[in-house]
Structure 1
Amino acid sequence: MSEAVTQADKPPVVDNGPRDLFSKFDDTIRMRETLLASGVEDPFSLVMEKVLSPTRAICNGRDTILLGTYNYMGMTFDPDVIQAGKDALDNFGAGTTGSRVLNGTYQGHKECEQALMDFYAMDHAMVFSTGYQANLGIISTIAGKGDYVVLDIDSHASIWDGCAMGNAEIVPFKHNDIDAMEKRLRRIPEGAGKLVVLEGVYSMMGDVAPLKEMVAVAKKCGAMVLVDEAHSMGFIGEHGRGVAEEQGVIDDVDFIIGTFSKSVGTVGGFCVSNHPKFEIMRLVCRPYVFTASLPPSVVATAATSIRKLMHGSNKRAHLWENSRRLHGGLKELGFTLGTDSPQSAIVAVIMPDLERGAGMWEALLSEGLYVNLARPPATPANMTLLRCSLCAEHSEAQVETILGMFERAGKAVGII
Structure 2
Amino acid sequence: MSEGIATPDKPEPPLDAGDDARDLFSKFDPIIKQRQDLLDSGLEDPFGLVMERVLSPVTAVCNGRETILLGTYNYMGMTFDPEVIEAGKRALDDFGAGTTGSRVLNGTYVGHKEVEKALCDFYGMDHAIVFSTGYQANLGIISTIAGKGDYIVLDIDSHASIWDGCKMGDAEVVPFKHNDIEAMDKRLGRIPEGAGKLVVLEGVYSMLGDIAPLREMIAVAKRHGAMVLVDEAHSMGFIGPNGRGVAEDQGCLDDVDFIIGTFSKSVGTVGGFCVSNHPKFEIMRLVCRPYVFTASLPPSVVATAATSIRKLMHAGDKRAHLWENSKRMHAGLKTLGFQLGTDEPQSAIIAVIMPDLERGAAMWEALLQEGLYVNLARPPATPANMTLLRCSLCAEHTEEQVGDILVMFEAAGKAVGII
Q: Shorter-chain TM-score category?
A: over 0.9
* Residue 88 of structure 2 corresponds to residue 54 of structure 1: no
Structure 2 portions without partners, runs of 5+: 1-16
Q: Residue in 2 aligned with 1:247?
A: 250
Measure the CA separation in 2 of the matches of 1:264 and 1:335.
31
Tell me the amino acid that sits aligned with residue 348 of structure 1. Answer: A
Q: Residue in 1 aligned with 2:156?
A: 153
* Residue 118 of structure 2 corresponds to residue 94 of structure 1: no
Q: Residue in 2 aligned with 1:343?
A: 346
Deviations 1:116-173 (Å, cap 9, x if unpaired)?
A: 0000000000000000000000000000111100000000000000000012101000
Measure the CA separation in 2 of the matches of 1:191 and 1:251.
24
Q: In structure 2, the residue corresponding to 1:307 is in which secondary structure?
A: helix
Alpha-carbon deviation of 1:17? 4.5
Map 1:243-322 to 2 at 5 A. 243-322=246-325
Q: Residue in 2 aligned with 1:45?
A: 48
Q: Which of 383, 386, 393 lines up with 1:383 in the alignment?
A: 386
Measure the CA separation in 1 of the matches of 2:56 and 2:340.
27
Deviations 1:78-121 (Å, cap 9, x if unpaired)?
A: 00000000000000000000000000000000000000000000
Alpha-carbon deviation of 1:212? 0.4
Q: In structure 2, the residue corresponding to 1:248 is in which secondary structure?
A: coil
Measure the CA separation in 2 of the matches of 1:15 and 1:284.
46
Q: In structure 2, the residue corresponding to 1:318 is in which secondary structure?
A: helix
TM-score by length of 2: 0.96
Tell me the amino acid that sits aligned with residue 346 of structure 1. Answer: I
Q: Which of 21, 26, 29 lines up with 1:26 in the alignment?
A: 29
Tell me the amino acid that sits aligned with residue 194 of structure 1. Answer: K
Backbone CA RMSD of aligned residues? 0.7
Q: Which of 72, 77, 85 lines up with 1:74 in the alignment?
A: 77
Tell me the amino acid that sits aligned with residue 255 of structure 2. Answer: D
Measure the CA separation in 1 of the matches of 2:293 and 2:31.
32
Alpha-carbon deviation of 1:15? 4.0
Q: Residue in 2 aligned with 1:368?
A: 371
Alpha-carbon deviation of 1:296? 0.0
Q: Residue in 2 aligned with 1:166?
A: 169
Tell me the amino acid that sits aligned with residue 286 of structure 1. Answer: R
Measure the CA separation in 2 of the matches of 1:117 and 1:205.
30
Map 1:197-276 to 2 at 5 A. 197-276=200-279
Alpha-carbon deviation of 1:183? 0.2
Measure the CA separation in 2 of the matches of 1:60 and 1:170.
45
* Residue 173 of structure 2 corresponds to residue 175 of structure 1: no
Tell me the amino acid that sits aligned with residue 160 of structure 2. Answer: A
Measure the CA separation in 2 of the matches of 1:255 and 1:395.
35
Alpha-carbon deviation of 1:379? 0.2
Alpha-carbon deviation of 1:254? 0.1
Map 1:114-153 to 2 at 5 A. 114-153=117-156
Q: In structure 2, the residue corresponding to 1:136 is in which secondary structure?
A: helix
Q: Residue in 2 aligned with 1:358?
A: 361
TM-score by length of 1: 0.96
Measure the CA separation in 1 of the matches of 2:211 and 2:399.
25
Q: Which of 195, 204, 223 lines up with 1:192 in the alignment?
A: 195
Measure the CA separation in 1 of the matches of 2:89 and 2:355.
46
Q: Percent identity?
A: 84
Q: Which of 381, 391, 394 lines up with 2:397 in the alignment?
A: 394
Tell me the amino acid that sits aligned with residue 371 of structure 1. Answer: V
Structure 1 portions without partners, runs of 5+: 1-13
Q: In structure 2, the residue corresponding to 1:330 is in which secondary structure?
A: helix
Measure the CA separation in 2 of the matches of 1:400 and 1:167.
50
Q: Residue in 1 aligned with 2:336?
A: 333
Q: Residue in 2 aligned with 1:404?
A: 407
Q: Residue in 2 aligned with 1:8?
A: none
Measure the CA separation in 1 of the matches of 2:61 and 2:28.
33
Deviations 1:320-349 (Å, cap 9, x if unpaired)?
A: 000000000000000000000000000000
Alpha-carbon deviation of 1:288? 0.1
Tell me the amino acid that sits aligned with residue 375 of structure 2. Answer: N
Measure the CA separation in 1 of the matches of 2:388 and 2:22.
35
Tell me the amino acid that sits aligned with residue 328 of structure 2. Answer: R
Alpha-carbon deviation of 1:198? 0.1
Q: Residue in 2 aligned with 1:83?
A: 86
Alpha-carbon deviation of 1:35? 1.0
Measure the CA separation in 2 of the matches of 1:30 and 1:303.
44
* Residue 128 of structure 2 corresponds to residue 107 of structure 1: no
Measure the CA separation in 2 of the matches of 1:352 and 1:345.
23
Alpha-carbon deviation of 1:18? 2.4
Q: In structure 1, the residue corresponding to 2:19 is in which secondary structure?
A: coil
Measure the CA separation in 2 of the matches of 1:18 and 1:100.
43
Q: Residue in 1 aligned with 2:13?
A: none
Q: In structure 2, the residue corresponding to 1:16 is in which secondary structure?
A: helix
Tell me the amino acid that sits aligned with residue 341 of structure 2. Answer: G
Measure the CA separation in 2 of the matches of 1:359 and 1:37.
13
Deviations 1:292-334 (Å, cap 9, x if unpaired)?
A: 0000000000000000000000000000000000000000000
Tell me the amino acid that sits aligned with residue 372 of structure 1. Answer: N
Tell me the amino acid that sits aligned with residue 352 of structure 1. Answer: P
Measure the CA separation in 2 of the matches of 1:297 and 1:221.
43
Q: In structure 1, the residue corresponding to 2:251 is in which secondary structure?
A: coil
Alpha-carbon deviation of 1:54? 0.1
